Amino acid sequence: MSTSGRGLHGQVLDTLGPAITAGEYQPGSVLRTDELAQRFDVSRSVMREAVRVLESMHLVESRRRVGVTVLPTNEWNVYDPQVIRWRLAGTDRPRQLRSLTMLRSAIEPVAAGLAARHATAEQCAELTECALGMVAHSRGHQLQGYLLHDIAFHRVILNASGNEMFARIGDVVAEVLAGRTQHEVMFEDPDPPAVTLHVQVAEAVREGDAARAEELTRQITVGALHELDILAP
């Protein structure tokens, strides 16, 4: 969930969070809440609330008599959708996109195979509807409309797998797909073979063909990595 529109502490986070994830504050740096409150022209209670949110993401650690210490990257909650959004907005975007897409390539094909075994009739119908929506928005520079159906498609796959751990990755996949569109790491119109693959995955899931669903989804993720080689080298 975006921090925008969540009051003063949200406005502080929209500046401080991206600064931390972009490396403007190196790990081990100590931030003083009173100095930050003065800088952002907010009360100390507002600043403490913002710090609590950053602590929940494991970006910082607050200690009495020490201050707010920036934590190293390996301690961050890198699966937090807001952390992903902040990192994708920074200069390290290409590496972050590639890392997230590799995560997708490890999980989504297996999830698609499971979905072919476990998806309900309603989930199959929803998956087909999403795939057709992607087709309908795949021409004429309709990337925002395409994105909505694309995100919904992959959420259905992950949920239909029947594995609650896979289902929880839905927010991560949504941020990857949204980030590619927002930061223009996409062709003006989606790659036609990729669109066709989504339709074929929906068909394989509906027909209960687990091996085909898994292989087709692997082709989708491999194609996404190839696109990054072109658009975000």
pLDDT tens profile 20-72:
999 999 999 999 888 888 988 899 899 989 999 999 999 999 988 888 999 99
pLDDT at residue 3 in the model: 46
How far is C-alpha 230 from the geometric centre of its chain's CA atoms? 20
Going by pLDDT thresholds of 50, 70 and 90, the confidence category of residue 226 is very high
Going by pLDDT thresholds of 50, 70 and 90, the confidence category of residue 4 is very low
More confident residue, 199 or 6: 199
> Token pair for residue 39?
């800088």
Residue range 34-48, pLDDT digits in tens: 888 898 889 989 998
Percentage of residues in the chain with pLDDT exceeding 90? Answer: 79
> Token pair for residue 140?
């004429």
Instruction: Give the residue-averaged pLDDT of 144-154.
Output: 97
Sheet holding 30-31, edge to edge: 30-31, 67-70, 60-63
Going by pLDDT thresholds of 50, 70 and 90, the confidence category of residue 156 is very high
Instruction: Give the residue-averaged pLDDT of 162-191.
Output: 93
For residues 186 and 31, what is the distance between their CA atoms, to the nearest angstrom? 37
**Nearest Cα to 213, choosing from 120, 117, 125, 126?**
117
By CB neighbour count within 10 A (0-12 exposed, 13-18 middle, 19+ buried), where does 28 fall? exposed
What's the whole-model pTM score?
A: 0.88
Contact between residue 116 and residue 209 where contact means Cβ atoms under 8 Å apart: yes
Which CATH topology does 92-231 take?
Four Helix Bundle (Hemerythrin (Met), subunit A) (1.20.120)
Going by pLDDT thresholds of 50, 70 and 90, the confidence category of residue 6 is low
pLDDT at residue 192 in the model: 95
pLDDT at residue 106 in the model: 96
**What residue ranges of the chain are covered by domains with CATH 1.10.10.10?**
7-75
pLDDT at residue 233 in the model: 78
Domain 7-75 maps to which CATH number in 1.10.10.10, 1.10.3720.10, 3.40.50.970, 1.10.287.1400?
A: 1.10.10.10
Percentage of residues in the chain with pLDDT exceeding 70? Answer: 97
Q: Is the pLDDT of residue 158 over 70?
A: yes
* DSSP class per residue in 95-123: HHHHHHHHHHHHHHHHHHHHHHHH--HHH
More confident residue, 85 or 1: 85
**What residue ranges of the chain are covered by domains with CATH 1.20.120.530?**
92-231
> Token pair for residue 23?
């490396």
Residue range 82-105, pLDDT digits in tens: 999 999 999 889 999 999 999 999
Q: What contacts 24+ positions apart, CB below 8 Å, involve 41-46?
A: 42/8, 42/9, 42/12, 43/8, 46/7, 46/8, 46/9, 46/12
For residues 96 and 103, what is the distance between their CA atoms, to the nearest angstrom? 11
